Structure 1
Amino acid sequence: MSQQPRTVLITGATGYIGRRLKDRLLKQRELSLRLLVRNPDKLRPDVRKKLAVLQGDTFNTASLDQALADVDVAFYLIHSMAGGHDYAERDRLSADNFRQACIRAGVKRIIYLGGLGDKETASEHLLSRIETGEVLSSEPEKIQTLWFRAGVIIGAGSASFEIIHHLTQKLPIMLTPRWVTTKTQPIAVDDVLSYLEQAISVEIQGNVQIDIGTQATDFRGLMEQAADSMGLQRHLICVPLLSPRLSSYWLTLLTPVPHSVASALIEGLKSETLARNDNAQRYFPTLHPVALDDAFQRALQEMEDNQVLSRWCDSSAEGTCDISGKESINKAVLRDRRVFYFEPALQHEVFESFCSIGGSNGWGAYDPLWHIRGLIDKIFGGVGLSRGRRQPEALRVGDALDFWKVVDIEADKRLLLVAQMKLPGKGWLEFVMDDDKLIQTAYFYPEGLWGRLYWYSVMPFHFFVFRSLGRLIIEQARQKKSSSDVV
């Protein structure tokens, strides 16, 4: 493949790696970029204008054939972490559908990003990613597959980085299980993207597995480097009594990831994830992954500059990342509606104000009650409040907002959140502006008697919490307006 291909398709383009790769490839004018996504609303309007966006998934043959028509290179950046008990079978089926569709369309090259690890010792989730690579690579006589394998990815917003960052920040002394000495080869997210970008045009014959990473270390080394990067003193004490299950619950309480994701990551840390070939150096001699300390510094700087481009919870493939529910709000049978009045000139400021709630910005005067609800949610295996938000003010469809998820935004008009905490039913929180009114509505669709009992038991708290939240939004809007007038 001596020439730069003209047309490139990215699947998983709203996920952690996919979003960043899409932004990088948009800078290459010689490429015609195309995306296959489940929900186009998760892409910014300006992005949708710059490239071709097709709605569909790898389980829909028609949408696959349409997306792959005239494509030269196709990125497969899809995988599950908590997609149900049959996720492994679905991953294999998805990969098989994709490979066959690529062959039908005459695609020259598939590029897949999987995980390091040996099949004999891999955890269940790592094994699924290995099997995905095997399925994609199973017909080398018909299509070429470049299979990249990476270990822990260090970058702002990655699940591994957020776990390490939160644990290091919160715990001066950490009791750690034996698996903290398991070897791995981390890599900075920017280096992963560089490999993927160069893979579009690199001259390689046949299928190749390419293991990427920097110097080998272990989870203890990752924690110690994170502490050094943040200027903190931390002490790790190995305790053999901490089982993987106990460790996953511990991570759930102290970090942003829910139990399903934490347990999958912990299982993965039980086996070594080391490079088994030197193909990265052989085929990409100009790429030199940065050292671990540089990787941490870059991630921390991205957070400090509020430039987190993507997070682990962006992907709609995850149960905790799904944004379905926009249409089903009409099924809600229980509602708590409150109206707050403001000066018409404040409309834009009111919109900005309710788009900046949550995360480190808090939820108003009764913020402690929100945190208690978040802790209860964590105890029962939910996401809690610790996911925070990607940026302090900006929101986009698909963003996590504590234990909510953004499912719809209309500029200067509406914000709709779907609840992702553990509930006996389905809940939404909506902010709508109508002339000089802010209409704040909590919707709930109960599941049986327990759902109704839950709703009526929290109603007294709603009176204080939601009234305080609406007033805070209006007051913050007035402050924003005053500040802009002064300037």
Structure 2
Amino acid sequence: MKVLLTGANGYIGRRLKSLLILQKNIELRILVRNKKSLSQEVLDNYEVIEGDTFDKEALKKALEDIDIAFYLIHSLNKKNYKELDKQSAQNFIEASGHCGVKRIIYLGGLGVKNSDTSKHLLSRIETGEILSSSSTIQTIWIRAGVIIGSGSASFEIIRNLVEKLPLMITPKWVDTYAQPIAVDDVINYLVASLYLNYKKNLIVDIGSAKMKYKDMMLQTAKALKLKRYLISVPFMSINLSSYWLNLFTPVPFTVAKALIEGLKSEVTIQNNNAKEYYPKVKPMSYIDAVKKAVIEIEQHQVISRWSDSDGSNWDKKHKEQINDSIFVDRKEADISSYDKKKVFKAITSLGGENGWFDYDFLWELRGIIDKAVGGVGINRGRRDNCDLRLGECLDFWRVEDIKEDERLLLFAQMKMPGEGWLEFKIDGNKLIQSAYFYPRGIVGRIYWYALIPLHYLVFINMIRNILRNSKS
């Protein structure tokens, strides 16, 4: 069968892709915004279409002759994500009908429509309804609640709270019921949906045992061998809870708020279709899922994170801005006596637990300020201490471009009055380190000039320490 995978570089998509390429009886095609976000091995062995669901020509090309398509697309990180999700799903179902697609497999969220349904969950439900609206295409709608796995937003929130706070003052939503599920089980249900012998539309609710959020935190503490105490209070609003999560966990305020709004109502299984149609998939218990996730983190085997993206077409989106940047701070060093591979390795080891080679307290202070104003901060860290790939997050940066032994470009995701980039480039016998800033108005210009003394301290020491570390 011919299968299309969308969202291939997202949290679920990246893991699903690694399993789909092991399936011997399928011909896999991948739709991504940027081909450079995929490994050379994938590019060499699978058909890749560059585009997205808003590019109708690319979408038709991607869906041509496809039997089954995975729809793993969500625009939560954009302000108007609800409208974008509806348009994306409509484009997809129309193009699928035009191309003769037989089945769409969609991963949505548990929950029902009512007056308390959050905007985020409502968007996931509406997407599923649109994808299920065709009379000629079958849609298998898998619905999952809290996904537990290394790198998942839900798990990173729970783990960070449990690790950092021996005593937690919690809002009343911790008594809400949910049915969490291990990310590996989600992937197993998705793959099994390829081979399901069923012809009509089907909604499949998946999850392990029903439990309260506070029990998830207590079981996580048990798995981590920690003693934790929770005190529930009735006066913590959604906004206050969101700021609390923003401060103590890696997720930014906007993501935290969207997730917490969804905790007003239970997200529990509404049908028995998982057991009836997928009898071979046996969801693991919550505590086993937590233990597996912790092992993956400790052994540096995190395949994907919630903050992963397709990688942006920086050359189309940002190149003009970089070239026209009003402010540039550039440092150069002679590397004729250095091993260039080791220099690049030192560059790509920046951030996360490795730090920034000097003045780490200034980076941490900037991260605290960023968190205080609703930004991402630096406690997102990095997925792996040694490996970087296009599109993933590195503290409050995103990897915008990476060319082995040649160039690393980071895009600033912290809150500031303008757009910023940090570039490391090996050009012949020179290492060139450049900070670019494209200000917004007079405030942006004041911001840059105010930071010049700190930039001098941080950036001149950074390039020196990159070279020092490349000799170790």
TM-score w.r.t. structure 2 length?
Answer: 0.97
After superposition, the C-alpha distances for 1:335-361 in whole angstroms (9 at most, x for unaligned) are 111112334441100000010000010
Q: 1:368 aligns with which of 361, 364, 373?
A: 361
Residue in 1 that maps onto 2:239:
245
Q: 2:416 aligns with which of 395, 411, 423?
A: 423
Q: 1:385 aligns with which of 354, 378, 382?
A: 378
1:400 is matched by which residue type in structure 2? C
Q: 2:53 aligns with which of 50, 58, 61?
A: 58
Structure 1 351/430 Cα, relative in aligned 2: closer, same or farther at 3 Å?
Answer: same
Matched, 1:98 2:102: no
- Matched-pair contact (CA < 8 Å) for 1:146–1:208: yes
Q: 1:192 aligns with which of 186, 189, 208?
A: 186
Structure 1 275/317 Cα, relative in aligned 2: closer, same or farther at 3 Å?
Answer: farther
Matched, 1:12 2:18: no
User: What is the aligned length?
Assistant: 469
Residue in 2 that maps onto 1:211:
205
Q: Percent identity?
A: 53
CA distance in 1, matches of 2:317, 2:147: 28
Structure 1 175/335 Cα, relative in aligned 2: closer, same or farther at 3 Å?
Answer: same
Q: 2:407 aligns with which of 401, 405, 414?
A: 414
Q: Which runs of 5+ in 2 are unaligned?
A: none
What SS does the aligned partner of 1:336 have?
strand
- The alpha carbon displacement at 1:99 in A equals 0.8
What SS does the aligned partner of 2:423 have?
strand
After superposition, the C-alpha distances for 1:416-455 in whole angstroms (9 at most, x for unaligned) are 0011111111110000112332111101111111111111
After superposition, the C-alpha distances for 1:203-260 in whole angstroms (9 at most, x for unaligned) are 0120000000000112101111111111111101101111111000010011111110
Q: 1:72 aligns with which of 67, 74, 77?
A: 67
- Matched-pair contact (CA < 8 Å) for 1:325–1:418: no
Q: Which runs of 5+ in 1 are unaligned?
A: 1-5, 480-487
TM-score w.r.t. structure 1 length?
Answer: 0.94
CA distance in 2, matches of 1:188, 1:162: 13
- Matched-pair contact (CA < 8 Å) for 1:326–1:408: no
Residue in 2 that maps onto 1:263:
257
Residue in 2 that maps onto 1:478:
471
Q: How does 1:48-447 map to 2 (within 5 A)?
A: 48-84=43-79, 86-120=80-114, 121-139=116-134, 141-316=135-310, 324-326=317-319, 328-447=321-440
CA distance in 1, matches of 2:142, 2:228: 34
CA distance in 1, matches of 2:150, 2:92: 30
1:302 is matched by which residue type in structure 2? E
- The alpha carbon displacement at 1:166 in A equals 0.7
- The alpha carbon displacement at 1:324 in A equals 4.9
CA distance in 2, matches of 1:124, 1:455: 37
1:72 is matched by which residue type in structure 2? D
- The alpha carbon displacement at 1:316 in A equals 5.0
What SS does the aligned partner of 1:313 have?
coil
After superposition, the C-alpha distances for 1:250-306 in whole angstroms (9 at most, x for unaligned) are 100111111100000000111100000000000011110000111001111111111
CA distance in 1, matches of 2:250, 2:149: 15
- Matched-pair contact (CA < 8 Å) for 2:309–2:392: no
The CA RMSD measured in Å over matched residues stands at 1.5
- Matched-pair contact (CA < 8 Å) for 2:103–2:137: yes
After superposition, the C-alpha distances for 1:98-121 in whole angstroms (9 at most, x for unaligned) are 111111111110000000001113
